[in-house]
Structures are given as C-alpha cells and as structure tokens.
Chains A and B, each alone.
Chain A
Amino acid sequence: DGERKITYIVHMSKSEMPVRFNDHTHWYDSSLKSVSDSAEMLYTYNNVAHGYSTRLTKQEAESLEKQPGILGVMPEVIYELH
C-alpha cells in the first residue's frame, strides 16, 4: 500500500547544511516539507544522530533519501525485551 505511512529515522549530514539555514532544525523541517506537506517530526536527535524521526509513505522516504545532505532514511525497528 503506497499510501501507508510508517516511521523512519532520517539521518542528516550536518556539515552539508546549506548556509541559508541558521538552525539545523529549520533545515530538517525544510527537507521533510519537500517530500510531504503533512508529515511532522516525532523527535529530533542531537547526540546520537543528526536528524529526526517522522511518518512517511515508502515513496516519500525514497524521495527524501535522494536529497542532498541525507545520509540515510531508516525504517523503524521494533525491539523486544530479553
């Protein structure tokens, strides 16, 4: 189902942030809005990664992955207790 959204963790290359952005969160937001008008960030990550998590369709994720400054768009993984 191409319309089904799942959570992705989007890893960005902070050193490639265009100079027109003062704040990395604005850059993250701009990258997200370029593939989806409705998607919102669940979290932004500052220490473990440079990036954010969001809900996207498969096509949106593939489109985002091709953009400059994107290192990877990783689908959510569900872990279990041991």
Chain B
Amino acid sequence: TTRTPEFLGLDQNANLFPESKTASEVVVGVFDTGVWPESKSFDDSGLGPIPSSWKGLCETGNNFNASNCNRKLIGARFFSKGYVAALGPIDESKESNSPRDDDGHGTHTSTTAAGSVVRDASLLGYAAGTARGMASSARVAVYKVCWEGGCFSSDILKGMDMAIADNVNVMSLSLGGGTSDYYRDNIAIGAFAAMQKGILVSCSAGNAGPSSFSLSNVAPWITTVGAGTLDRDFPALASLGNGLNYSGVSLFKGDSLPDKMVPFIYAGNATIATNGNLCMPGTLIPDKIKGKIVLCDRGVNARVQKGSVVKSAGGVGMVLANAASNGDELVADAHLLPATAVTEKTGNLIKNYLFSESNPTATILFQGTKVGIEPSPVVAAFSSRGPNSITPEILKPDIIAPGVNILAGWAGSVGPTGLAEDTRHVEFNIISGTSMSCPHVSGLAALLKAAHPDWSPGAIRSALMTTAYSQYKTGKLMEDIATGKPSTPFDHGAGHVDPVSALNPGLVYDLTVDDYVDFLCALKYTASEIKLVTRGNFTCDTSKQYSVNNLNYPSFAVSYQTGSGPITEETTTVKHTRTLTNVGLPGTYKVSVTSPGKSVKVTVEPESLSFDKVNQKMSYTVSFTASSMPSNTNLFGRIEWSDDKHIVGSPVAVSW
C-alpha cells in the first residue's frame, strides 16, 4: 500500500520495529482468491532462507507451478473440492484451477499484509508512491479458498487445516457471511484451532454498515477488524452549467470530456424501468443518453457497472450519487468513462439543478491525488457495526484500520474495475472494504509477533487494542462518516490501530485456551458443543461459577438485556474481572474512568496496580451499577490504566 505506512507511523518510526531478519521469520497466511505471483510486491530480493519451521509448499496447477514461489511467497495452495462438488467443474477459461488469482482481491489483501517494498507504484497515476505491505519482510503463504461462485466452508476449513500444519504465524481472512453460534461457525472453529497453536487470526468485520448488529466473525478468539479512511482523497468536481461546482471523487484516467459543458440528464428520466435511476444493465434508453453525462443513484448493482451501463448506452460521463445509507462516504473507482462519485446531499443539490433547468449541462474536472485530508481517520459507512449479536457481552469490532481507497497489488489478468469489458492491465489497484483493513491488522500483528515472539495471540491483540485511539490529536472524538457525528465503540471498537504504541503497550490482557473454554462454559454450551469448537475433552466444573463477564478481554460490553437478568430493582450491578500482565518495566499504574453517563456508576477496585517485574499479573474488578433505561439505549465510556508513560485503554459499552 502507499500512504498507509506513513499514516500509521511505520515509515517515520522504522527504527522501532523489528529487524527485517526477525520479521522475516514470521509467515502470514492469507485465505482469499489466490495470488498473482508476478506482482513486484512478491519480489524476494534481500530475503534470507525460508524459515526452517516452514512445512508448506507451492502447489502446481493451471497457470501456476512451483517456480512461482520464492523466498517471499513461500506457500501457495488451492482448495476447490467443496466448490466443485456444489457447482461442477472449474471452467478453466474463466478461472485457474490452481493458486493463481484471477480476481485481484487475494493479491490485494496478501500484498497489503506483507508485500515487499515497490517504488513508483500507482493506479493510473493515482496514489503514487512507494508501496509496501505492513510487514514488508514477513513471508506470505496463500490459501486459495474463494472462487467465482463464492468461498465454500469445506474448502476454507481445509485451507485452515493445512495452514496450521504448514506453521503459519498469522491468518488473515477477508471474508465472512452470516452469524451463528460458535459451534456452528466454521471460521470460528478453524480460528479456535489456530489460536490453540499460537496463531493470531484476523478477520474482516464485514461491509454491512452502518446498520447495527451487522458484524461477521465475532468469536472472541478472532481479531475482528472494521474500516476507516486515510487522509487521502481523489477529488473530481462536478461542474454544472449554472456555474456551481460540487466536490466528488474519482480514479478515472483516459480521454477527458470535451473542453466545454455537455448535456446532463438524470438516469431516472432516461428509462422506462422503475429502477432505471440505478443504471442497471439494459434499463437506459440510448436515444436519451447519447452524448450526455448521466446522474445515476448508488445501490443494488456495482458502482463500476453503472459506469459501464452508461457508456454502453452512449453516455459520455457519469455522476454517481450516494444513497442515504452511504452518508457522506465517497468511494473512488477507476471507471471506464469520466465519472465522479458525490455524497447524497450533493446528489440532491445536483438533482435540484437537473429538475429545474430545461437544458442542464455539466462537466467533470479531475484533480488527481490529495493527501492531508482532515479529519482522518473517520469510520467508513460500510464498516459493519455492533452490538455483537451472538455474545452481547463481548464488544466487537475489536479495532479499525485503513480500508477506504487502499492501493495494493492486483492480478494482471483483470482490469481495475473487475468488469469483463475492462481490458486494462494494472499492477496496483485501489479498492475499499473491511477486506482491506483486515490485512493491515494481520501485517501489523506479524510485526508485533516478530518483536515479541513469546506473546500469545491474545496478548498481541490486546496490545493493538489498548493502544488504539478514538480521538484526533486535536482532542476531538473520531467521526463516523455515516452520521457525521462522533463514532462509538460499536463502530470503531477500541479505536484506530496505532502500531507504534502497540509495540510497547506496558500491560496486556492475556488470554489462554483455558480462558476461552471457561467462556464456552459460561455460555452454557453442552459438552458436545464445546468439543465441536475445541476438539478436546474439556468439561465444565459444575461447582464453578462461570461468567462471560470475566473473559479477560481488552474491552467491556455491559449488557442489561441478557446474562444480567431482568432489572427487578432500581439499580443493577454487573461485575467484570480482568487481569493485567506487565510486559514493560516495573511501574505503578493508576486507573481513570470516563463514565458512560449519570445513569451508570463505574467503580474500579483496586484503583492502583504496582508491578515489580515483567510478566507479573494483577487483577482488578469493575462494577457497573446502572438504573433501568429504555431498551436499545447505549452509553459509552472508557477505562484507562496509566503509569504516565503508557496508556492502557479499554472502551466501555453499556446497553439495555
């Protein structure tokens, strides 16, 4: 990626991060659409021998052989039996029956996590700079589990099964779907086995935002990653015949519009289809479109497809207006014709012009790449949101990372829009999604693993979470672009990742396999259900009081809907116990609480913890005492431990 290394402080603090020799011992396994091994991001110059612990291999197949792997791309496998069993043989004219990526997504995610340094990277001149993965010295192993027809659970599970045997250190899965109890959730089951082997599993939170309860991959042993913006934009003005200019974004490169205003029309007025405003295939009337810029509404079909539909109907340009659910979020695309994306508000203003003018005209002015955009980051509207629908007492997502307009490696066989008619070849592409934020965290976790090889996956996640930020340097709260208001822990979890601080968190909330088994006991899972998740013969102790509230999680979600029982008295107190492990110098940490509001009293006991040595553990209890509130009320606060050198922060969400 370009820009994210600077945005995250990696480049400015390179000396703080582990030597490349140490980082190159770490292997990131990426479960996706495969890999385009010819990408410069897989150049292995300067990398030493493959780690001796590595057991994986480079599988051969259609358009892929063992020589496609090197000291950077050390493993490539593909899993298609489930896919083939359900949908029939792979059509090799459309997709390679091998680890080769014919989609681009897998190359994008794997290079984001651990791609090598590539100078002069850009997409059609946009986002130009030096591209690198977050852990640019780490090794990459790809597990192709996604095909044109989707990602089948039998294939994903086998991929994870092999990755554990291969000895990956971090797993990155930018995929998901639906939610179910952990013992029915294949990714949760696979991730539990990985966690047992000390492998950190990072998963995308999903793109179903801004709706509440829209998260995927919520198991507490998974690191769940939402998406935020960078401080970078690609402005493209919609300039109207009335002299007014409206800002939008675009990655279009090609023949510009004529050097004059051109006729402008609303798609909804150039169609006989009821949904013609969406520019769906076959809905526009070419006679009404020819030679004009067309305003299309966002939704239902792909944004880039709308541009293609306008182009094939004879249109010369497109203005794409957000729907209400997209808020002010602008996602840039490398459209096949001159096009710009505008906010819903701007779209409405432009529509007012279109509907009030007898001969409306417009043009689009492309302004390239701009950096330093503020505020940034802001939570992406599409990023899935809490509460956690499976276990409300576990706050999810865990963290957010860059996921909007991210440049990274791309497959050479597919154009930047991914459309069949897009015959352009690009080495890098700019796309958006929690798919893009997840591998950022996977790569950063690999860096932490290299710096602290003895840390558990839980400790690494804790370091990432407790050092994340949810305020800008100005002190203003981080914004949610869906609302334009401050975002909440249900949107950003612990906040935006800050890898430099995560290197030295001071204290961590560690978690062991036994802690997670206790958590399953607290959920009142049967012995069979626990065995489904753990494969082991764990039994819950009937004399022991298990509580979900005592899972040593780096965040707090207090739910008065479940677990705590009905509110029968005026106030109800819920207690959470946590244990902090010192991973820094001896020191005394004092607690400070940002209260969720007058209706919730938060007390921490003890208020001070003194650590004499490294790895020393100390526990504390938080009591949340709340009066009854209307259901669906959510309040948010924060608990911080500080020794004046470190801040170990935890978000608090209280819901009724």
Seen from chain A, the residues whose Cβ lies within 8 Å of a Cβ on chain B are: 6-7, 9, 11, 13-15, 42-43, 45-50, 53, 55, 71-72, 74, 76-82
Partner of B176, one of A13, A42, A80: A80
Partner of B151, one of A11, A15, A43, A79: A79
Pick the contact of B175 from A9, A11, A13, A81 — CB < 8 Å?
A81
Task: Evaluate contact between A48 and B81: CB separation under 8 angstroms.
Answer: no
B176 near A82: Cβ-Cβ < 8 Å = yes
Residue among A45, A72, A76, A77 facing the most chain B CB atoms (10 A cut-off): A77
Q: Is the pair A74, B150 in contact by a Cβ cutoff of 8 Å?
A: no
Residue of A nearest to B438 (CB): A82
Query: Given A9-B153, A81-B33, A82-B433, are A49 and B193 neighbors across the interface (CB < 8 Å)?
Result: yes
How close is B227's CB to chain A, nearest CB, in angstroms? 9
| The residue from B161, B178, B197, B532 contacting A72, defined by CB atoms under 8 A apart | B532
B520, chain A: closest CB distance, angstroms: 14
A47 to chain B, nearest CB (A): 4
Interface size class on chain B is 35 or more
Q: Are B82 and A80 in contact (CB under 8 A)?
A: no
**Which residue on B lies nearest to A46, using beta carbons?**
B161
How far, in Å, is B36 (CB) from chain A's closest CB? 16
Question: Looking across the interface, which residue of chain B has its beta carbon closest to that of A40?
Answer: B85
Which residues of B, 164-191, contact A by the 8 Å Cβ criterion?
Answer: 164-165, 174-178, 183-184, 186-187, 189-190
B150 touches A79 (CB 8 A): yes
CA distance A71 to B86 in the complex (A): 24
Interface presence of B204 (CB below 8 A): yes
Assembled-state Cα–Cα distance A11/B535 (Å): 9
The answer for the CA separation of A81 and B418 in the assembled complex, in Å, is 14
- Bound: A15/B82 CA distance, A: 27
| Partner pick for A79 among B105, B164, B175, B189, CB 8 A cutoff | B175
- A77 cross-chain contacts in B, Cβ below 8 A: 152-153, 177-178, 186
Report the minimum CB–CB distance from B531 to chain A (whole Å).
Answer: 6
Q: Roughly how many angstroms separate A30 CA and B79 CA in the complex, as a whole number?
A: 25
Which of A43, A49, A55 touches B535 (beta carbons < 8 Å)?
A49
Evaluate whether A47 and B184 lie within 8 angstroms (CB atoms) in the complex, with A13-B531, A42-B81, A82-B434 already known.
no
- Prevailing SS type, chain B contact patch: helix
- Cβ contacts under 8 Å, A45 to chain B: 157-158, 161
- Contact of A76 with B174 in the complex, beta carbons under 8 Å: no
Q: Which residues of A contact B532 (CB under 8 A)?
A: 11, 49, 71-72
Q: Which residue of B lies closest to A8 (CB)?
A: B154
Are the CB atoms of A49 and B154 closer together than 8 Å?
Answer: no
A-B contact count (CB 8 A): 121
Q: What are 30 A-B pairs with beta-carbon distances under 8 A?
A: A7-B82, A7-B86, A13-B528, A13-B531, A15-B537, A43-B79, A43-B82, A45-B158, A45-B161, A47-B164, A47-B197, A49-B190, A49-B532, A53-B82, A72-B183, A74-B186, A76-B154, A77-B152, A78-B150, A78-B152, A79-B153, A79-B156, A79-B187, A80-B176, A81-B32, A81-B175, A81-B433, A82-B176, A82-B204, A82-B435
Chain B residues lying within 8 Å of A15, measured Cβ to Cβ, are 537
Asked if B206 CB lies within 8 Å of chain A CBs, one says yes
Report if B336 contacts A (CB, 8 A).
no
Residues of A within 8 A of B32 (CB): 81
Q: A71-B528, A79-B187, A81-B146 are in contact. Are A48 and B105 (CB under 8 A)?
A: no
Bound-state CA distance A50–B151 (Å) is: 21
Candidates A7, A14, A48, A49; contact of B152 at CB < 8 Å: A7
CB contacts under 8 Å to A, within B135-167, are: 146, 149-154, 156-158, 160-161, 164-165
Complex Cα spacing A34 to B154, Å: 22
A29 to chain B, nearest CB (A): 16
Across the interface, do A80 and B175 meet the contact criterion of CB distance under 8 Å?
Answer: yes
- Assess whether B158 is in contact with A76, with CB atoms less than 8 Å apart: no
> A79 and B177: CB pair below 8 A?
yes
Answer yes or no: B207 CB below 8 A from chain A CBs. yes
Pick from A47, A74, A78, A81: contact of B165, CB below 8 A.
Answer: A47
**With A48-B164, A82-B435 in contact, is A71–B82 under 8 Å at CB?**
no
> Closest Cβ of chain A: how far from B430's Cβ, in Å?
16
A contact residues around B207 at 8 Å (CB): 82
- CB-based contact B435/A81 at 8 Å: yes
A55 to B532, CA, bound (A): 20
Apart from A14-B535, A81-B174, list 5 A-B contacts with CB within 8 A: A11-B532, A71-B528, A77-B153, A79-B151, A79-B156
Residues of the B chain whose Cβ atoms lie less than 8 Å from the Cβ of A11: 532
* Chain A: minimal CB distance from B587 (Å): 40
| Chain B window 180-215, contacts with chain A (Cβ cutoff 8 Å), 1 for yes, 0 for no | 000110110110011001000000111100000000
Distance in Å: Cβ of B315 to nearest Cβ of chain A: 29
Q: Contact string, B494-523, partner A, CB cutoff 8 A, digits 1/0?
A: 000000000000000000000000000000
Q: How far is the CB of A6 from chain B (nearest CB, A)?
A: 7
B150 touches A80 (CB 8 A): yes
Give the contacting residue for A48; candidates B150, B193, B204; CB below 8 A: B193
CA–CA, A7 and B164, complex, Å? 23
CB neighbours of A42 from chain B (8 A): 81-82, 85, 154
Known: A76-B153, A80-B175, A80-B176. A7 touches B186 (CB 8 A): no
Cα separation A47 to B187 with both chains bound (whole Å): 13
Residues of A within 8 A of B79 (CB): 43
Q: With the chains together, A74 CA to B529 CA distance in Å?
A: 12
Write the nearest CB–CB distance from A17 to chain B, whole angstroms.
Answer: 13
With both beta carbons as reference points, the residue of chain A lying nearest to B403 in the complex is identified as A82
Contact with A along B34-64 (1 / 0, CB 8 A): 0000000000000000000000000000000
State which of A6, A53, A80, A81 has its C-beta within 8 Å of the C-beta of B157.
A53
**Shortest 9 CB-CB distances between A and B: which pairs?**
A53-B154, A82-B204, A82-B435, A47-B164, A78-B150, A79-B177, A79-B151, A42-B81, A48-B190
> In the complex, which residue of chain B has the Cβ closest to the Cβ of A11?
B532
In the bound complex, how far is the Cα of B216 from the Cα of A80, in angstroms? 11
